[in-house]
Amino acid sequence: MADSVREKMQVRKVVIPAAGLGTRLYPATIEQPKEMLPIFCKGRNGGVYVKPLLQSVFEQIFDFGIRNFCFIVGRGKRAIEDHFAHDEKALKVKKPSNKLTVSEVRRFYRMVDRSNIVWVNQPSPRGFGDAVYRARYFIGDEPFLVYAGDTYIAANADKLLKNLVDVHSKYGSDATFVVDEVEDPRIYGVIEGERVAGRIYSVKRIVEKPKVAPSKLAVVALYLFNPVIFKMLERVGVDERGEKQLTDAIQMLVEGGFKVYALKLGSDNIRVDIGNPTTYWDALRVSYGRAK
């Protein structure tokens, strides 16, 4: 599905951090990775079924045309690797009665077979920035996507991804990411920006979980970086929790005179977040409404 812009930029790789402990969803995530919690989906031939949110993220990126995936995982995340292991025999042994389910699982396995998947370990929870930094050898010297493994942006996602690539290319950006207007920005990374066109903002400042937020535009899930971000992540320190924050590295880009842009979600996009019980309930409600 690569168009001329994607070919020119060679956006061929994606990093999917999925190493968080998921403590806000205990006890459901004591043994099960939060990224494997199910959401409702609509089958290609109709009907409603459930699948892990992380599988939805993978399939969305695959449908966009990317085939090189780097998953950042940690302790207790073996279930993710097992899920992405092609096991056609399991379908014959377990014999699901729902033909829709069998069809969708086989489609997923075909995607896995056609992908290059690398697993990178984050031994302890050292922050989202540290997780991205661990993918530097996989990325090399080319632009790449980062898609958080606990959030899914539904509806017209291919258009959103294409717009993200277009903005990055048009403005010569070193970091371009998606923002959404939220009610309580204090629990997110938040930008101070200048609107340059439509839903596009030039980022003047970005701060993680501010007590006094500069705006209600919060960073959500999806980023496009040039490899210079790794140099910033090398230099960035850790916060009071001992974590390396990606937003701090992006702020270093801003302060260093690099171009940083944000693309606001449109009304045709739906963000599904499973980070805590309240947002997971919303995710189930919204995904079921879309799947019916």
pLDDT at 10 > cutoff 80: no
For residue 4, being part of any structural domain is answered with no
Range of the domain at 137: 9-153+270-292
For residue 61, being part of any structural domain is answered with yes
- pLDDT for 53 equals 94
Query: How far, CA to CA in Å, does 191 sit from each of 94, 196, 216?
Result: 49, 14, 8
The total number of structural domains that make up the chain: 2
Same domain? 180 vs 236: yes
In degrees to the nearest 10, what's the CA dihedral of 169, 194, 232, 33? -80
Same domain? 57 vs 171: no
**pLDDT one-digit tens code per residue, 215-266:** 999 999 899 999 999 999 999 998 888 889 999 999 999 999 999 999 999 8
- pLDDT for 117 equals 97
For residue 1, being part of any structural domain is answered with no
CATH number for position 225: 3.90.550.10
Q: String of b and e for 15-35 (b: at least 16 CB within 10 Å)? A: bbbbbbbbeebeeebeebbbb
- pLDDT for 196 equals 96
- pLDDT for 8 equals 58
Same domain? 74 vs 183: no
Same domain? 253 vs 287: no
- pLDDT for 96 equals 55
DSSP 248-266: HHHHHHHHTT--EEEEEPP
Q: Are 60 and 157 in contact (CB under 8 A)?
A: yes
DSSP 237-251: ---TTS---HHHHHH
Q: Are 157 and 269 in contact (CB under 8 A)?
A: yes
Same domain? 14 vs 149: yes
For residue 2, being part of any structural domain is answered with no
- pLDDT for 141 equals 95
| CA 26 – CA 76 distance, rounded (Å) | 14
Same domain? 251 vs 286: no
Same domain? 67 vs 146: yes
pLDDT at 280 > cutoff 80: yes
Same domain? 125 vs 240: no
Q: Look at phi and psi of residue 198 and say left if phi exceeds 0, alpha if psi is from -120 to 50, else beta.
A: left
| CA 210 – CA 228 distance, rounded (Å) | 25
| CA 81 – CA 276 distance, rounded (Å) | 23
Query: In the structure, how many helices (H) and strands (E) does the chain have?
Result: 11, 13
Q: Are 121 and 135 in contact (CB under 8 A)?
A: no
Same domain? 54 vs 174: no
Counting beta carbons within 10 angstroms of the beta carbon of residue 172, is it exposed (0 to 12), middle (13 to 18) or buried (19 or more)? exposed
| CA 181 – CA 5 distance, rounded (Å) | 28
- pLDDT for 93 equals 53
| CA 86 – CA 63 distance, rounded (Å) | 18
DSSP letter at 77 equals: -
Same domain? 207 vs 281: no
Q: At 222, give phi and psi (nearest 5°).
A: -125, 125
Same domain? 104 vs 162: no
For residue 3, being part of any structural domain is answered with no
| 99-103, 206-210, 266-270: least confident range | 99-103
Same domain? 285 vs 144: yes
